[in-house]
């Protein structure tokens, strides 16, 4: 089960990195919308509102991306709090079709397996190998 946990950690890192990249791109779009709002006289409200929405969604994506990166790093170290975090993030990922759903199902399959539980339990108690 150890290879599946490590693969899951890598997948969480990749998923989080994609979220952080999307957040950065939305911040660039927000800058463009803000520039349009400042330079055009017509319909300033719409451009400013669009910029605000881009910033809000970028913040949400950055928070989710950071959380997935943190979980991915923790899973690779067999940290029990990362296991709990991954299971909690999977609830949100279930609604991100199709890749988030697949990642969430794989997360449940890997981390709810008894061998994975033993792996994380052994890592918490200083035992390098699960029993």
The residue extents of the domains of the chain are 2-124
Q: Which two tokens stand for residue 96?
A: 């991100």
Dump pLDDT digits (tens) for 58-96: 999 999 999 999 999 999 999 999 999 999 999 999 999
What pLDDT does 122 receive? 75
Instruction: Name, in order, each residue with C-beta under 8 angstroms of 64's C-beta and a sequence gap of 6 or more.
Output: 16, 19, 89, 92
Whole-number Cα distances in Å, 118 to 52, 71, 77? 46, 18, 14
Give the pTM: 0.86
Distance CA 78, CA 92 (A): 22
Average pLDDT over residues 19-45: 92
Average pLDDT over residues 11-35: 96
């Amino acid at each position: 089960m150890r290879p599946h946990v490590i693969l899951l950690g890598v997948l969480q890192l990749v998923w989080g990195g994609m979220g952080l990249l999307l957040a950065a791109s939305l911040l660039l779009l927000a800058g463009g919308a803000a520039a349009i709002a400042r330079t055009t006289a017509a319909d300033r409200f719409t451009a400013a509102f669009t910029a605000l929405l881009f910033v809000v969604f970028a913040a949400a994506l950055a928070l989710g991306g950071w959380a997935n990166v943190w979980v991915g790093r923790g899973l690779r170290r067999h940290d029990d709090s990362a296991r709990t975090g991954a299971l909690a993030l999977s609830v949100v990922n279930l609604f991100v079709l199709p890749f988030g759903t697949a990642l969430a199902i794989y997360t449940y399959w890997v981390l709810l397996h008894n061998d994975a539980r033993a792996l994380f339990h052994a890592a918490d108690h200083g035992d390098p190998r699960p029993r």
